[in-house]
Amino acid sequence: MRRGAAWILAAVLLLAGVSAASAAQHWRVLPKSSELAFFASYDRIEFKGVFHRFDSDLWFSADDLAHSHFRVKVDVASVDTRSVDRDEVLSEADWFDFKRFPSAYFTATHIEAAEDQGFTAKADLKIRDKQHPLAFPFTFVVRGDQAHLKAHMQAKVPLNRLDYDIGSGEWADDDLVGFRVRVVVDLHLQAVE
């Protein structure tokens, strides 16, 4: 190969490599096959709830973790624990207080590879007017060919509801509603062009 052509080829390859790496892949959530759920306990009996509505801004590439980040805004009024009585209590001022705090916010940055082909991020969660940092370990499995990239993201996050003033006042003890809540994230994603 002539030297000029070799330099041009190297430059083209470098540019291609750089442009591919300057932003992580953008993903959108497939709502019908995704779930944002939590498990809490009432009288030591576990029950499940989901949030039906949430907006997410997900950028992730395993080979570009520096530019990967997540931002999720949850519509708390979309909570559904399969019990109208329970959901009505959750809307009240001592609980999520839908009127004053209609959204919960989750952001995750500083994503790093972790063991077992998983990842971990530094995350911030804000529910009501309480914001706390937390560790966010997750798995992110990409499948499909370049034209139809899909991914499956899963995470389990333990929380203490008192940290976010969920269930305060007369509900601030764990006689009935336990303090420990487990958030379970199970998202099927599609690559956005």
**Which residues contact other proteins (rule: CB under 8 A)?**
42-45, 47, 81-86, 88-89, 92, 170-171, 175-176
Measured from the CB of residue 184, what is the shortest distance to other proteins in angstroms?
A: 19
Taking the complex as a whole, how short is the minimal distance between the CB of residue 61 and other proteins, in angstroms?
A: 41
Q: Can you tell me the distance from the alpha carbon of 47 to that of 33, in angstroms, rounded to the nearest whole number?
A: 21
Least separation in angstroms between residue 170's CB and other proteins is 6
Q: Are 165 and 130 in contact (CB under 8 A)?
A: yes
Distance CA 53, CA 77 (A): 8
| Of residues 5 and 45, the one with the C-beta less far from other proteins | 45
CB of 49 to other proteins, least distance (A): 11
What is the Cα–Cα distance from 99 to 116, expressed in whole angstroms?
42
**DSSP, residue by residue, 106-154:** EEEEEEEE-STT-EEEEEEEEETTEEEEEEEEEEEEEES-GGG-EEEEE
Complex with other proteins: residue 112 or 175, whichever CB lies closer: 175
Buried b / exposed e across 159-191, counting CB within 10 Å, b at 16+? bebbebbbbeeebeeeeebbbebebebebbbeb
Q: Which of 171/179 has CB closer to other proteins?
A: 171
CB-nearer residue toward other proteins: 7 or 42: 42
Give the residue with the Cβ less far from other proteins, 57 or 175: 175
Query: Taking the complex as a whole, how short is the minimal distance between the CB of residue 171 and other proteins, in angstroms?
Result: 6
